Structure 1
Amino acid sequence: PIDFSVIGNAAWFGLPHFHSPEFHMDAILLIVPVVIILVAENLGHVKAVTAMTGRNLDPYMGRAFLGDGLATILSGCVGGTGVTTYGENIGVMAANRVYSTLLFVIAAMFAIVLGFSPKFGAIIQTIPQPILGGTSIVVFGLIAVAGARIWVVNQVDFSQNRNLIVAAVTMILGGGDFTLSIFGFTFGGIGTATFGAIILNAVMSIGERR
């Protein structure tokens, strides 16, 4: 049964807890490699939107990276977590075929306003997990198909062993959420898939040049 009492107990308005930033070298060294992952993720998202809309968004790639970086800096200055582009939004775009940037600006404003309402957060928490799980399957499935479409549009030659192996290994590492721990830092599926693709492609390219 769904417990709706949390909605009644939640306040209509609430402020987040702000924290001033602190700098620790050990934490910085652990986070820096994640930047590479986020750049690859951001790049992939822009390419996915390009494939869906049929519009070349490469000239705006720098703006995407800049916006991502500025948002993370702003979040870190008040004690928030790092932010990035989210595949869920791209999946929604693929589902409803609405690509207007103005719509996302309006949605962001609503999200900011609702973020100050604990009651709205309580309502979200009452959504059954099976519903969220089913939605996630559709959304991330659409993202995967958009990624495959990029291969088709760019006519990637899978008769070459390098392309075939890099794609196969990346899909298994990412889709299987393969986790790897190095020096106390844990890489999730996206991280292992990103580094795996970069390293494997570089190594196999050396072999081809020889």
Structure 2
Amino acid sequence: MTKKERYQLFVAHFSAKQPDAETELHYHNPFQLLIAVILSAQCTDKRINMITPALFQRFPTPASLAEVTPDLVFDYIRSVSYPNNKAKHLVGMANMLLNDFNSEVPSDIDELQKLPGVGRKTANVIASVVYNAPAMAVDTHVFRVANRLGLTNGKTPLAVEKDLVKNLPQEVIHVAHHWLILHGRYVCVARSPKCNICEITHICRYFNKIVLPAKLISESKNQHMIKL
């Protein structure tokens, strides 16, 4: 199977099965999503969704968040990973939005990365989710699934990002990000991928080169033992 064919089959499958895939983070506006994504680094969406309602109610605007200290924000986010650093990032981000961006979340990836707590991955999430930009955020799920499927041989998140953006149709890049994340979160999990329930093993390089041969060898050994 060629790389082009694999991409075509990947897009065809998920376009039919999950045409409207979206983030599992809860939010109502770009500012709230930006907060949630910053908090979600090395933390689960489930945990973030548990603590953001109170946070969003207390700090509904960049101005309301910019006027407080990180210590106050810490009290709302103490259960997430690295709460001290994230509290500082949130207050710094709100101040920059207020002073440099007229309290609006920018759409440009380079501008987004100027905000405290916002790296390339977070910037790509905001650009793709809020503005439907052809941006590909590469987290651990995207990196793992894209490599296992054979969509890329990238050894770094940036290499994977560039490969996916280059080969995916531009109009599906923003949703393909969610296809890969959700598939990695619920099917193609890190330690024991659930190949038995996966619907795209026919295009998966990992399955056909590693899982299937191992399964055939195991079945052959079992049959041999039965004959003995």
Q: TM-score, normalised by structure 1?
A: 0.29
Q: TM-score, normalised by structure 2?
A: 0.28
Q: Higher relative contact order at CA 8 Å, sep ≥6: structure 1 or structure 2?
A: 1
